[in-house]
Structure 1
Amino acid sequence: MLKADIAWGDLSQNPEWKHGVIALGRSQIAPFRHAALETLVVQTQERWFAVVRERVAGGAVSENASFQNVDSERFDELYRACLLWPLDYVMVEVAKQGRRVKLRAGMLGAAPVYCRATDEQVRVSWDFADFLSDRLPIDFEVASCSLGLEQVYSSRQICIGVYLLTERATLYLEPGRAHYRYPSPFEVPAAPAMECADAVSMFDQLLRRVIAKRPAAPGRIAVELSGGMDSAAVACALAGLHGPVASRGIIVGGECRVPQVERRRQIADRLRLSDETVDIDAIPPSLDLSPDGHKAYVNTEYYLEAFETLWSTARAQGRDLMYTGLGGDELFMGTGVVAEDNVAGGRSIGDPQRFARQLLTPRALSALRSLHAFDAPAGPVPSVMASVSKAHHLMQHGIWPINPLSDPDLMVFCYQLPLELRRRRTTMQLYLDARLGEDVFPRNYAKETFAQVFPELIARHRTALAGQLRECALADLGLVDQRAALALLDTVATTKAVAPTSPLINFLWTERFARQLA
């Protein structure tokens, strides 16, 4: 939601609004410029804070930041109001005396907040690439967990010295020192008794309320429509509140293609959506380990090339609010959810984590097994890591991401449902039946999946990948056994099985990132 480069010595300056940024001498805080966000700066005596936050529907609209010089009582009042803001926010709090900065995050995690503090300055950004010019070393323990498919939601990131401000967390900074404080674990209240009809009605009301929290003109809205239940539920709520809106999505290949295309057609026709698609076979992911002119990321959208085409087209048409179905899986976790991407739509020959651990050196495997104490406590929005992997790409296109199914109120409601109304997404299924008809998502519905995209690609590019992996940055760092990596490549290319593909792709993306740092 913001970027900042602040020299400690500039904290003695008073903040000013200049050319779209908050200026402090030669330092600055740059809010992400978007109509969905607003900036507030409040100052009193030796303290001030700036907050960038999502606009609330019905609130006053201003193009620039709002500056207020107030007494200490009003300062505290506005400060508390910011902490209780109903949507997402990032707050920068400054104490001039002592040169101290405090960063706070809201609970939604809509956009990542990365931070690095040195003796000279503090840098904050929603884009991890802003830290890569410093050639930071890789955190061995974090990288081991990531390669072992045990990545956790944590303040620690793959580059030493760069922190992620997790939801509801606070980061205290001063020259040469940083202290991180996680929030208390989130506890779900006791579940009330509920009948089936009441559950579907309440789900509808809550989802519509979540959509209605933010101001949005129909001409600016697009919804990522995969053809699955989660994005369809969001599209139903959007159409119910705003009328016909635009939908955008990626068409997968294989056996899923025909039923996915037909479901999309039914959904678009019945909700009167303006629908456009991108074919994943026409714009497949790049497997090149040394892409020219592109920053490599570890937490990233795997099918980025196709999605970027989708987002670019939407933005060119004035669609700068992208609604997604992110969070739907987490609403009904652990209740026999319909088959997931890493299992459905392809042959499985084992456990992905078993293949992942075969890649690791003994030292990396030891780190994976011994270190899990740095992860954040459970929060009200378990889908934040998925949001982190996609949000910065959307923001690079000038699009603000909105994930209605990740709303804490909706999460708590679904957690409280009786098991029979959660199992296999029964409540969502009944909601969709009522709005689209029972023929769109029949009870034997098979979820669309990208599962066979990478196995087919890897089989075609096996020789080129093997050639690139004759030199391996992760092997040089002592993280990966190079021979095991080549063996895993052969396994995927030969069997085209799903289970070994996930750890191989994760390894390839991490290798691409490590080469960038070398």
Structure 2
Amino acid sequence: MIKAEISLSDLSFEPTIKQGALFMGASWIRPHTHPLLETVCVRAPEQWFVVVRERKASRDAIHAEAGKLVVEQTDEARFHSLYQESLLWPLDYVMIEVAQAGHRLRVRAGVLGAVPVYARVLDDRVTLTWDSAEFADRPAAIDMEVASHQLALHTLYAARQLYTGVVLLTERASLHVEPGRARFRYPESMAPTTPSPEDGEDALPRFADALQNVLNLRPWLGAASVELSGGMDSATVATALVQWHEHIDSKGILLDGDVRGPQVHRRRLIAERLGLSDRTVDIADYPPNLDLSPSQRPYGFCHDFYLDACAALWDSASVKGRHVMFTGIGGDELFPAYQSEVSESAMAGPAWAKDARSFAEGLLTPRALNAARSRTLFDAPESPVPATSLLAQACRAPDLLAHGQWPVNPLSDPRLTAFCHRLPRSSREGREVMRRYLENHLGADVFPKGYIKETFANVLPPLIARHAKTLAAQLRECALADLGLVDRTAVFKLLETIEQTQEHPATSAFASFLWLERCARQAACG
């Protein structure tokens, strides 16, 4: 939610406002402008800070006009009071602190991680942005260890990123920069949660209250959109929204194949019973782009092959003057099974995931495979928001902002997450409390027990199979092979397997490779 180019030597200048940005000499800090955001700059002798944060529904802080930059010159006591208030802000924020005398700055990230910030420090010059694709402005070195783990389909949430020298400010992390030195500081790890014992109390009213409290933290802008896939997570968010608000648009991507009929049927029932104004696009009209030719649009570090279809929906929301997009991100992590509750086979995960990792490791050179099988020593600590939710948010946030949308992910909120993680097993297993919540509001026929969840699993396999010859021709030159990370022959063999079988596990491995290959080519060209 912030972009900046800061030379440490310019920190001796007083910050001034020009066209909605802060300028210090030739350096600048530009907050993202959105009705759900406010920017506050607080100055005291020899120090100042600027914070971009989500607006609260009600508060006693500085009354910044939505989307505007407010500057307050104050004494040291009030400075520290407002500073502490910003550190404890309950919604998402990014804060830059400046000590002018020593030309020092610190960048802090809030706890939600809805729109993560990336940073690069070169020769006492700091670049900050919410869009990692902007680091494609010059040739970059690939971090071999990070790339090896990503190629092996390992989930990585860490400061280290694919391009050497670029760091992600993980939630609650801070970056300290002073002349000749920069250091990154992770937060303390979150204490592990334990489930509550069965106490006979009905969890449903408490779940409904916890969800509604999260939704009511932000001011209502009069209208909003909600992503509606046809699954339980997005349906839960939509159901909670209509309890208090009207004029809700729902947006969704319709899939092909066997899942289409049930998905269309569930979406129709949900939209009718909640009174949503529904809009869909067909995935066939916006197929994922597999082309490895140079792109006019640079690629970021997180991959999502379905953003073209999503962008069509987000644009339709912007055209109607709706600039807040509620999502169901986080629902998959809301009801964990603890170690004492599952068998060893269940803990190992689904069979297809194991097969996908086997296909992925089959691509790697011995050097890369050795790196991928080593334990990572750089992962961020356990956080109040599950790492998989944070990564899902990072994949989509830059494109959402570029299309005028601010993402709100209620099911990823740490308050709701902590509540649900502590529920007794009977309320968590099978998402029982969520299922009952939906049953109360939508009826028992929308999400019967054992319903088949729609996924994108069957989109890429036939698409890659159809374009196999084109991909094979483009992969005669393979940047990842030139870097010594993948075996070129293994890449062609995997592509041939997908062409012949259209297997989901093989496709998962190839899709990850394909995105990293794009990033590697981009890094080489700059």
The answer on whether the counterparts of 2:193 and 2:421 sit within 8 Å (CA) in structure 1 is no
RMSD of Structure 2 on Structure 1 (CA): 1.8
Change (3 A) 1:304 1:316: same
For 1:161, the equivalent position in structure 2 comes to 165
Correspondence 1:431-442 to 2 at 5 A: 431-442=437-448
Aligned with 2:65 (options 62, 66, 73): 62
The 1-side partners of 2:112 and 2:218 are apart by 14
Change (3 A) 1:65 1:376: same
The answer on whether the counterparts of 1:188 and 1:415 sit within 8 Å (CA) in structure 2 is no
Query: What whole-Å deviation, never above 9, does each CA across 1:107-142 have from its counterpart, x for those lacking one?
Result: 100101000011141110001122211211111111
Residue type of the alignment partner of 1:106:
G
Change (3 A) 1:170 1:120: closer
Correspondence 1:33-72 to 2 at 5 A: 33-59=33-59, 60-63=63-66, 64-72=68-76
The answer on whether the counterparts of 1:117 and 1:176 sit within 8 Å (CA) in structure 2 is no
The answer on whether the counterparts of 2:64 and 2:70 sit within 8 Å (CA) in structure 1 is no
Residue type of the alignment partner of 1:296:
Y
Question: Does residue 238 of structure 2 align to residue 235 of structure 1?
Answer: yes
Q: Report deviation, 1:477.
A: 0.6
For 1:142, the equivalent position in structure 2 comes to 146
Query: What whole-Å deviation, never above 9, does each CA across 1:312-342 have from its counterpart, x for those lacking one?
Result: 11111111100000000010234799xx9xx
Aligned residues: 511
Residue type of the alignment partner of 1:82:
S
Residue type of the alignment partner of 1:454:
L
Percent identity over paired residues:
50
The 2-side partners of 1:94 and 1:9 are apart by 12
Question: Does residue 221 of structure 2 align to residue 217 of structure 1?
Answer: yes
Partner of 1:233: helix, strand, or coil? helix
Change (3 A) 1:350 1:13: closer
The 1-side partners of 2:99 and 2:200 are apart by 53
Aligned with 2:303 (options 300, 307, 328): 300
TM-score w.r.t. the length of structure 1 is 0.95
Aligned with 2:450 (options 434, 439, 444): 444
Correspondence 1:91-490 to 2 at 5 A: 91-188=95-192, 191-193=195-197, 198-219=202-223, 221-334=224-337, 348=352, 351-382=355-386, 383-490=389-496
For 2:506, the equivalent position in structure 1 comes to 500
TM-score w.r.t. the length of structure 2 is 0.94
Residue type of the alignment partner of 1:73:
A
The 1-side partners of 2:486 and 2:222 are apart by 49
The answer on whether the counterparts of 1:326 and 1:387 sit within 8 Å (CA) in structure 2 is yes
Query: What whole-Å deviation, never above 9, does each CA across 1:187-235 have from its counterpart, x for those lacking one?
Result: 145544465763111111111111111112232x000000000000000
More off after superposition, 318-327 vs 166-175: 166-175
Query: What whole-Å deviation, never above 9, does each CA across 1:53-90 have from its counterpart, x for those lacking one?
Result: 00001244514222111221111111111111010100
Q: Report deviation, 1:254.
A: 0.9
For 2:30, the equivalent position in structure 1 comes to 30
Question: Does residue 517 of structure 2 align to residue 514 of structure 1?
Answer: no
The 2-side partners of 1:273 and 1:211 are apart by 17
More off after superposition, 267-276 vs 119-128: 119-128
Query: What whole-Å deviation, never above 9, does each CA across 1:239-259 have from its counterpart, x for those lacking one?
Result: 111124100000011110000
Partner of 2:472: helix, strand, or coil? helix
Change (3 A) 1:20 1:245: same
Residue type of the alignment partner of 1:449:
T
Q: Report deviation, 1:512.
A: 1.1
Partner of 2:285: helix, strand, or coil? coil
Partner of 1:198: helix, strand, or coil? coil
Q: Report deviation, 1:444.
A: 1.7
Q: Which runs of 5+ in 1 are unaligned?
A: none
Partner of 2:95: helix, strand, or coil? strand
The 2-side partners of 1:2 and 1:419 are apart by 41
